[in-house]
Amino acid sequence: MVSRVERGALADWFWTIDRVFLALFILLIGIGFMLSFAASPAVAERIGLEPFHFVKRHALFLVPAIATMIGISFMSPRQVRRTAVILLIVSLAMMLFALFFGVEVKGSRRWVNIAALSIQPSEFMKPAFVVVCAWLFAEHARQPEIPGNLFAIILFGIVAALLVAQPDLGQTILTTAVWGGMFFMAGMPWLWIGVLGGLGAGGFVAAYYVFPHVALRVDKFMTGEGDTFQVDTAKEAIIHGNWFGVGPGEGIVKRIIPDAHTDFIFSVAAEEFGVVFCMVLVLIFAFLVLRGLSHAYREKNDFNRFAVAGLVLQIGIQSIINVGVNLQLLPAKGMTLPLISYGGSSMTAICVTAGFILALTRHRPEKRAQDRTLFRVTHGLPAE
């Protein structure tokens, strides 16, 4: 245990970090590793690999991912901004590279092979995009003559265009929802809300008619006709698990669920550990999001407020999409459950998101005092 009176980088970090957030992230990572033992062996055997192939890789991914999260949590808000700018530039360049030279998987070009690693740049783009947009919104709020909102709109257009070109409509919807939530918090005029809402609805309709796979999934969801094997087996696994599950390693339906270790790991958890366990898992995500929004509400610094709110919204909305697909509440869409599903890019990128949250929610007494004084002065109140 680190003493309160001890002065040093580690001691300062330990006593200023939001330890509830840290515990939640570690807990979710632990649950994800546990569920990898339940979900991945059947998938590995089905494709001719040794049973614990994905478990071992999951464990291998955890080491750099957790190190990344802890390392980023030491950063100051200024360092977070600079890191996000660099990460965004690199990830956008890699997304553009992927369109022409990337690996095509199921008709989409989202992956870039570097040495022995396959990287999905859009996963790393998401937290960086949130932080950079938060900075642009905050600069516009601080100095209205700075066209921060306009730059944020342009940046969103670039990101959305690259995602649609892959195509990755799920990530486009997620990014749009998070960006729209941040723009709303930044004081978006109601006229803009109507305009952007109309554009979003028009974009969804256009995607339905332009992309056959989108139309197919929406039609399957609305009519229940066609090949619905994935979602049907996921539902069957949830029903088979009942309230308390069939027990660790005793799942039967999980053996035939496609992508059981990634997109449908929630259904595997329901079969082996029960609906009650899944409800607790959902409550953990809900508590994480609500704690982040509560912190953002109390935050006086605009950048910290927008960034923390956007980052927890990203985790929350991605979780909603994954769980919604598993429960047949949303059309089928491949999206991982944050910190739970298998995947090196997804795991590391979510740990980057977690690191940003930990860094921006650290308790810095001197900085908080400066922010309170600046807030009172800018709003015509006497300084404390």
**Per-residue pLDDT reduced to its tens digit, 59-74:** 998 999 999 999 999 9
pLDDT of 241 over the 90 cut: no
Higher pLDDT, 9 or 330: 330
Distance in angstroms (rounded) separating the CA atoms of residues 95 and 89: 10
Q: Is the whole-model pTM more than 0.85?
A: yes
Tell me the C-alpha to C-alpha distance, in Å, between residue 90 and each of 17, 121, 217, 334: 28, 8, 32, 24
pLDDT of residue 9: 76
The per-residue pLDDT for range 100-121, each reduced to its tens digit, is 887 777 667 888 887 777 889 9
Higher pLDDT, 44 or 116: 44
Distance in angstroms (rounded) separating the CA atoms of residues 269 and 286: 18
Q: Please give the average per-residue pLDDT across 318-345, as a whole number.
A: 88
Q: How far apart are the first and last CA of the chain?
A: 36
Distance in angstroms (rounded) separating the CA atoms of residues 307 and 83: 13
pLDDT of residue 369: 46
Q: Which of 140-154, 187-201, 236-250, 288-302 has the lowest mean pLDDT?
A: 187-201
The per-residue pLDDT for range 265-276, each reduced to its tens digit, is 999 999 999 999
Give percent of the chain with pLDDT exceeding 70: 91
The per-residue pLDDT for range 146-166, each reduced to its tens digit, is 888 889 999 999 999 999 888
Residues 270/282, Cβ–Cβ less than 8 Å: no
Q: Please give the average per-residue pLDDT across 6-22, as a whole number.
A: 82
Q: 29, 83, 81: which is closest to 58 by C-alpha?
A: 29
